[in-house]
C-alpha cells in the first residue's frame, strides 16, 4: 500500500498523536503517560512517502488496518483496541 504525506497527517491527527516538526515530522502516541507508538516522515509534498512499510510497522498496523485508517474506516477507539489486542497497551 502506498501512503502520501497528506494521508499520514490525517491518520496521525485522527489517532491523536502528538507531533513536532524538525527536519522530519515526528509523531508519537501517549496513552496513560506511556509512549506506545512513534513514527516520522520526511517533509515531502504530494508524493508517496519513503519507508512506508516502516511507518506501518511503527504504527503497529497490518496492511489492511492501515488501508482502513487511511480511508477513515478505522477510528481512534478501534486503533486503541488493536493496540490492546496486540499487547502494546
pLDDT above 70: percentage of residues in the chain: 92
pLDDT band at 72 (very low <50, low <70, confident <90, very high): confident
Grid coordinates representing 42 are: 520526511
Calpha distance 9→27 (Å, rounded): 9
Contact 56, 11 (CB under 8 A): no
Strand segments, DSSP code E, in 1-89 are 18-21, 24-31, 34-42
Per domain, the residue ranges of the chain are 5-85
> Pick from 68, 64, 40: which is nearest to 54 by CA?
40
pLDDT at residue 46 greater than cutoff 70: no
Choice between 3 and 1, residue whose per-residue pLDDT is larger: 3
Grid coordinates representing 58 are: 511503527
Contact 37, 59 (CB under 8 A): yes
pLDDT at residue 1 greater than cutoff 80: no
pLDDT above 90: percentage of residues in the chain: 56
**Bridge partners (DSSP) listed for residue 41:** 25
Amino acid at each position: 500500500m502506498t501512503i502520501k504525506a497528506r494521508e499520514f497527517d490525517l491518520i496521525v491527527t485522527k489517532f491523536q498523536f502528538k507531533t513536532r516538526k524538525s527536519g522530519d515530522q515526528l509523531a508519537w502516541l501517549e496513552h496513560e503517560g506511556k509512549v506506545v507508538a512513534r513514527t516520522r516522515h520526511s517533509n515531502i509534498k504530494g508524493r508517496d512517502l519513503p519507508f512506508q512499510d516502516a511507518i506501518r510497522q511503527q504504527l503497529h498496523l497490518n496492511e489492511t488496518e492501515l488501508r482502513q485508517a487511511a480511508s477513515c474506516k478505522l477510528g481512534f477507539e478501534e486503533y486503541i483496541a488493536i493496540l490492546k489486542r496486540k499487547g502494546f497497551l
